[in-house]
Amino acid sequence: MRKLGVVFVALTCLTIAAAVAMAAEAPVGENMKGQVTVGVQGGVVVPTGALAKDFNAEAVTSDEIGGFQGKMGFTGGLNVDYFITKEFALGLDGSYSTFKSDYAHAGDAKATTLQFGLHGKYLIPTGGPLVPYVFVGAGLYNAKITDIPDTEDLSQSKFGMNGGVGAAYKINDMVSVGLNGAYHYAFSEFKPEIEGEKVTVLDDWNFITFNAAVTFQIPMGK
């Protein structure tokens, strides 16, 4: 599944690059300053690194057991942007990601993440209907592992950051479609309380997302 994720990354990057290179020389449309957009997206999440230590073994490190290696899973989210200038926007975003473990001792354990945050987005002018962009954000990541053999569900919230690139093709003045990819990094170890003690369950909680997106522009007076 990890190899499939790498292939998906490569194809996404090639698709965006090809689309930018082939964009038609059409009018960009109205100045986005003062406008509001709402985006809906969905795609795949690819966990990175060994996410968790063995839940039941004593004094066993993630390096020794291979960690809670995650399979590629599903992600989806919403975002709202307000354009301060014609090319720069500030916004709110939220997402849900879920994937399962491919480590045999973890059984049917499933990891989920609820993320809420703020971001900045910069549109790169192309002179055509296809507009690439970059974005960076920060927010709260609620990490949870459920269905752990012989262990109660674990949950903890951490602050984190994310950043990525994308491209949107403007179908008309109201609707755009596109692709984007982002890397998410949650700060510090995940140490929930188990039987009254803080236990390091996760070495890190990092992942990559790849989404197809539809964006709607909300009519605003100027």
Distance CA(72)–CA(2), nearest Å, equals 7
Three-state DSSP string of 121-169: EEECCCCCCEEEEEEEEEEEEEEEEECCCCCCCEEEEEEEEEEEEEEEE
pLDDT tens across the length of the chain (222 residues): 445 445 555 555 555 454 444 443 333 445 788 899 999 999 999 887 555 444 444 433 434 333 456 778 999 999 999 999 999 999 999 999 998 876 555 567 788 899 999 999 999 988 889 999 999 999 999 988 887 666 677 778 889 999 999 999 999 889 999 999 999 998 766 666 666 666 666 666 788 999 999 999 987 765
What are the strands, taking DSSP E only, across the chain? 36-47, 73-83, 88-100, 110-123, 130-146, 154-170, 175-186, 193-194, 197-198, 206-218
Cα 174 from Cα 57, distance rounded (Å): 55
Q: List the domains of the chain with CATH numbers.
A: 2-24+42-218 (2.40.160.20)
What SS3 state is found at 26? coil
**The pTM is what?**
0.75
